[in-house]
Amino acid sequence: MSKQAHILALKADTLPGGLGFGIRALGDAALAPVLEAQAWIGPRPMLEDDTSFVQFIPYVLVRHGTRLLAYVREESGGEARLHGKFSVGVGGHIDLPDVIVDETLIMEKGKQVPANRIDIARTLVRSAVREISEEINMDVPEEAVMWTHLIHVTTTEVDAVHLGFVAVLDIEAAGIPELVFEECIGSARFEEISELAAGRVGGRDATPETWTGLVLDMLVKDAAAA
């Protein structure tokens, strides 16, 4: 995506549940209203360093049994602050062409008029499907993308201005395509969740990006509680 793109964002002080909540289920009563929030389209160069906004990021985990697709963010990637770290999330900014407008008729001053607001849920899915296709050459139906968690932390400057929507995409062994990765994705492979949680990719020590660390901790805790 071009650095000059316009992307989807939300005023940080209107985020339901406040800022820096870590990782929580989207069904959390304090966070569920985010899908009905008033989103805004703004220029990416401005938003990247403006902490008064949070940018929407689909973060899709591609899972095969007890393994997740993991990769290293290469220097050719758009976000320099994440280069060299490993990630288990496929996704990126929601670009202007991804936006779906809700034209459901509503009553306004006694008349039925189109809502004319951004449909955040459908827009997120469209963006996620596009990103999955672009980044790992995998075509998935929109109904396969189901949001499970939200992430917001203030650990780093890049974390503070992004709001992650986590989804898990389960694939069968026979459904794993010949993956063709974008240039910005390196050392991509399916790894055991336990290995990733221990900070190892391909048998080597590796540093996870903040969101990946949170996701892996959550998956390990869920597995222990099962």
Share of the chain above pLDDT 70, in %: 85
Q: pTM score, two decimals?
A: 0.85
**What would the two tokens of residue 131 be?**
């990103």
Q: Which helix (H) or strand (E) holds 135?
A: helix 120-136
- β-bridge pairing 22-25 and 147-152: antiparallel
Whether the CA torsion 44, 48, 53, 54 is positive or negative: it is positive
Provide the pLDDT for residue 153. Answer: 94
pLDDT for 60: 95
Cβ 100 vs Cβ 123: under 8 Å = yes
Give residue 76's pLDDT.
47
Q: Which of 7, 32, 68 is nearest to 165 (CA)?
A: 32
Q: Which residues contact 6 (CB under 8 A, 6 or more apart)?
A: 41, 42, 43, 44, 95, 96
Tell me what pLDDT residue 15 has. Answer: 85
| Tens-digit pLDDT string for the chain (226 aa) | 455 789 999 999 988 778 899 999 887 777 778 888 889 899 999 999 899 999 999 999 999 888 999 988 665 445 455 457 889 999 999 999 999 998 876 777 778 777 788 999 899 999 999 999 888 888 889 998 888 999 999 988 889 999 999 999 988 755 565 665 555 555 678 899 999 999 988 888 888 999 999 999 999 998 888 7
Rg value, the chain, Cα:
18
What is the structure's pLDDT at 173? 59
pLDDT score at 181 = 57
List domains and CATH numbers for the chain: 6-225 (3.90.79.10)
Q: What is the pLDDT of residue 178?
A: 61
Rounded to whole angstroms, how far apart are CA atoms 130 and 139?
A: 9
